[in-house]
Each structure stands twice: as C-alpha cells, then as structure tokens.
Structure 1
Amino acid sequence: MSATYLISDLHLESTRPATVRALRRFLLDHQDCDALYILGDLFEVWIGDDDDSPLAREVTEMLHRFTAAGPKLYLLPGNRDFLLGRDFCKAVGGKLLRDPRVVNLYGTPTLLLHGDSLCTRDTEYQAFRKTTRSAAWQNELLARSLDERRSLARELRNRSREANSNKAEDIMDVTPSEVERAFLDHEVQCMVHGHTHRPARHEHAAGVRWVLGDWDQKGWYVKADPEGCSLHSFTIKQ
C-alpha cells in the first residue's frame, strides 16, 4: 500500500551518533514509500548550507541515496535549523517547504508546520523567531565565516536552554486558540507538527492534530496512507 512518512525533531549532532544511525536505518527501511516529510529540527544546529562538517556530509549523503531510490523528500526548517536552505535541499534531491504548508495526503488536505508558531504564549521566543526568520538577519549571519557562525550557534543554544529552564511547561506548549485559528485559516481538518516533543493525537472542534515526538530514546513518525494517519515509535539503540 502507498504510504508517506512524516518526522521531525531529530536534533542530529555529532555527539549523538545513535540518532544518526537510527535515521540511516529508517531511510533504508522506508525507501519504497511515496514521500518523506521532515518538519523541522533535522539538525540540532545548522549554520548554513555551506556547512562542511563530517555530520553535514554524512546526512547529505544518506538523504541523497534515499531520494535516488525513488521517494520524494520535503524539508521544512525548524527553530534549530532555520538556516536550512535550497542548496542543501538540492544536494539531497529534496524540496524546501515554507512554514506553514498545506499538502494533499491521499485526498486529505493537511496542514504541515514545525509547530513553534503555535506557541504564542511564549512571547520572548516569538520575538526571537521573528528576528531569525528575517531575510536581512539571515543574510547578515550567512556572510560571516563558518567558525563565527558555529560560535554564535553555541551561544544561541546555551541561551535557549537557560531561558527554557525558567519557563512554565504550558507556556512552551501550543496555544489552543492558535491551533483552532490555524485549522480555520487554512480550511483543513488535519494538522501535523513537531517542536513540543509531546507526541500525541489530539481531537479539536475543527479537526485532528498529530504531534510528532523528538528522536531521543525513541524515534517517532506519522504514517499517512489512503486509510488515514497513525502515530508510531521505535526504540533507538544506543
């Protein structure tokens, strides 16, 4: 049966080789699928499509092999890899998607997004998000050397971890009214996103929302086929 898979929040980094291996295995096991959507935070840090790190080369190679086998690949940047661009997507044989994006999954219009835009109660983060999505800000950052960008990325990540440690859990989750608005604005009854690391199926007045989990002890994915959507997980071998 035809199937499409959706994943997010792998947060790939060189210090977590088990997750990199898990992605390689996942791609090999599903190279007969119709398509794979990666809904943000494929990488823990992405400093630009000119990243020459061993991890960047390894992931580029495995994704290119995946698309060469036939499936379509779609990538949507997240809050960790917001600098993911067209050059990387071209190198892996994929297509870059804007956030949010409505796609047709076997006859069901489905809203895809990373999920951070739904967390409107975190006003501090939303201000940061607006800045980092600015083309002018990104161009200025990309004009710097790779070493400068790596240093800034470490600084931003440390700031984020410190800020999140002092925030209430509900502030970092989606805002219910924002979810309902997204359903209505995009005229869909199905939504898939990540970001919050709280995998679940939620029923709302306007439709069904699938939340992807982060790849840590488990790997999470949504499978979409002509019968509908379903949420799955598997153990990541350390």
Structure 2
Amino acid sequence: MSRTLFIADLHLCNEEPAITAGFLHFLQGEARSCDALYILGDLFEAWIGDDDPNPLHQQIAAALRALPVPTFFIHGNRDFLLGQRFARACGMTLLPEEQVLELYGQRVLIMHGDTLCTDDEGYQRFRAKVHQRWLQRLFLALPLRMRMRIAARMRNGSKQANQHKSVSIMDVNQQAVEETMTRHKLRILIHGHTHRPAIHHFPLHGENAQRAVLGAWHENGSMIQLDASGVSLIEFPF
C-alpha cells in the first residue's frame, strides 16, 4: 500500500532513552514500508549546533541514513538551529516552515505548528527574536559550553513561563489556521507542536477541511498516515 508517514515532537535527549529506543524501533520497522517520512520538528529536545558531539545525535543520524525511503525535516521550536551539516549526515532534506505536498491526489500543508499559536503573544515575540539570522550566527559562533548553558537557561525559562499560561493560549488559533489554509488554497493541514493529537473537521469556504495534529512521543509513538483514502492518526507502543 502506498502511504506517507508524518511524525513530530519526539524531543529526543539523553535523559529519555525509552523514547530513543522507540524511535529506533520505528525506523527499523514501520518507517521502512512507506513512500516517504516527514519529521515535522522537535525531533530533539534541544539543538545548540551541528558541531555538538553528543553521541545520541550520531546514533540518530546513522539510523536515519540507513532508512531506505526519502526523509524530510521541518524545524521545530526546539531544534530550529539544526543545519545542513546534520541533515546531510542523516540523508534527509530540510524544508521551509510551510510546505505544500501533492500526494495521492490530495494537496496537503505540513508545518511544525507553533506559528499558528498566535494567542501566545509572548512566545511569538520570542520566536521572532531567535529566528533572526544574525542572532543565530552569533549564537553558533560561541563556544560549545557557553551555548549549552544558554540553552539550559532558555529551556528552564520556557518551562516556568508555560506554567502560568492557560491551556487554550498555547493551542492554535482557529482563525490563523483558516487564514493559513486559505492562503495555500487547500483543505488538509498536518502539524505538531501542541501535543494534542486529534483530527479536527471544520467547514472552510463551504467545503470540509481537516487539521490533523500529531501527538508527542511520551509513553507511546504517534504518527499520521496519509494514503489514497485520506488521513489517519495512529498511536503505537514503543
């Protein structure tokens, strides 16, 4: 059966070996029987540069490189600094933050999803700052140890800030969803980021539209399958 798979929000790190093991099992099994694999951001919990010698990164790169299907990557809010050097090591192609695919007679928009959370104005201001090219170049020029300390402080600050935000403010804004889908002239959107797996159906300009949301890999794996019959959200054990 021809199908394409999408995953996101694995947040791989040394502190969560079960998730790493689950992902490696997925790459050795399920992922080998698809037309292509799309990773929609936050593959890693943090990314401070392609020169980070973390053995976990080398292990993941080798596993992705061994995958016999095309692999594509859209940056998340945790690994937006992942660059061409690591992508080449993985054998995967970097995509822009919004990518339209034409698969099995359907037009589909894929993205990480954080840009749709427009109610979280504080996060959007922070995102605009850290996506400035000059600031990214400056950060990547710093010594590795300094980058590690800065990244740790930023993660702690993010966790503390999120504790004081309402659940709704960290979800997508429906108007932003509809405006984005209208701009691309399509009816299917696949994204991650919010960790709220579901397939939402809603009317859009008189037609039925779908927003498929990937789950985070906490205790189970999560993937979206797209084939000729449409979109399916699938959870599976590690």
TM-score with structure 2 length normalisation? 0.96
TM-fit CA distance, 1:137: 1.1
Instruction: Give the corresponding residue for 1:197.
Output: 195
Q: Which amino acid aligns with 1:47?
A: I
- The 5-angstrom pairing of residues 161-200 of structure 1 reads 161-200=159-198
Instruction: Give the corresponding residue for 1:50.
Output: 51
TM-fit CA distance, 1:33: 1.4
Counterpart secondary structure, 2:22 = helix
Instruction: Give the corresponding residue for 1:233.
Output: 235
Counterpart secondary structure, 1:149 = helix
- The 5-angstrom pairing of residues 64-79 of structure 1 reads 64-66=65-67, 69=68, 71-79=69-77
| RMSD of aligned residue pairs (Cα, Å) | 0.9
Give 4+ residue runs of structure 1 displaced > 4 Å after superposition. Answer: none
Q: Which amino acid aligns with 2:138?
A: E
Q: 1:143 aligns with which of 135, 141, 144?
A: 141
Counterpart contact for 1:180–1:204, Cα < 8 Å: no
TM-fit CA distance, 1:235: 2.0
Instruction: Give the corresponding residue for 1:31.
Output: 32
- Give the share of equivalent positions with the same residue, in percent: 43
Counterpart contact for 1:82–1:132, Cα < 8 Å: no
TM-fit CA distance, 1:125: 0.2
Q: Tell me the distance in 1 between the aligned counterparts of 2:179 and 2:170.
A: 18
Q: Which amino acid aligns with 1:214?
A: A
Q: Tell me the distance in 1 between the aligned counterparts of 2:25 and 2:136.
A: 33
TM-fit CA distance, 1:171: 0.3
Q: Tell me the distance in 1 between the aligned counterparts of 2:33 and 2:214.
A: 22
Q: Tell me the distance in 2 between the aligned counterparts of 1:60 and 1:145.
A: 23
Instruction: Give the corresponding residue for 1:221.
Output: 223
TM-fit CA distance, 1:212: 0.3
Q: Which amino acid aligns with 2:43?
A: L
Q: Does 1:101 align with 2:99?
A: yes
Unaligned runs of 5+ in 2: none
Q: Tell me the distance in 2 between the aligned counterparts of 1:47 and 1:204.
A: 39
Unaligned runs of 5+ in 1: none
TM-fit CA distance, 1:32: 2.7
Q: Tell me the distance in 2 between the aligned counterparts of 1:187 and 1:134.
A: 28
Counterpart secondary structure, 1:202 = strand
Q: Which amino acid aligns with 2:23?
A: L
Instruction: Give the corresponding residue for 2:14.
Output: 14
Q: Tell me the distance in 1 between the aligned counterparts of 2:151 and 2:159.
A: 12
Q: Which amino acid aligns with 1:28?
A: Q
- The 5-angstrom pairing of residues 82-121 of structure 1 reads 82-121=80-119
TM-fit CA distance, 1:219: 0.9
Instruction: Give the corresponding residue for 2:60.
Output: 59
Q: Deviations over 1:157-209 (max 9, x none)?
A: 00000000000100000011101101101111100000000000001222100
TM-fit CA distance, 1:106: 1.6
Q: Tell me the distance in 1 between the aligned counterparts of 2:221 and 2:33.
A: 19
Q: Tell me the distance in 2 between the aligned counterparts of 1:222 and 1:105.
A: 14
Q: Tell me the distance in 2 between the aligned counterparts of 1:105 and 1:170.
A: 32
Q: Which amino acid aligns with 2:222?
A: W
TM-fit CA distance, 1:39: 0.2
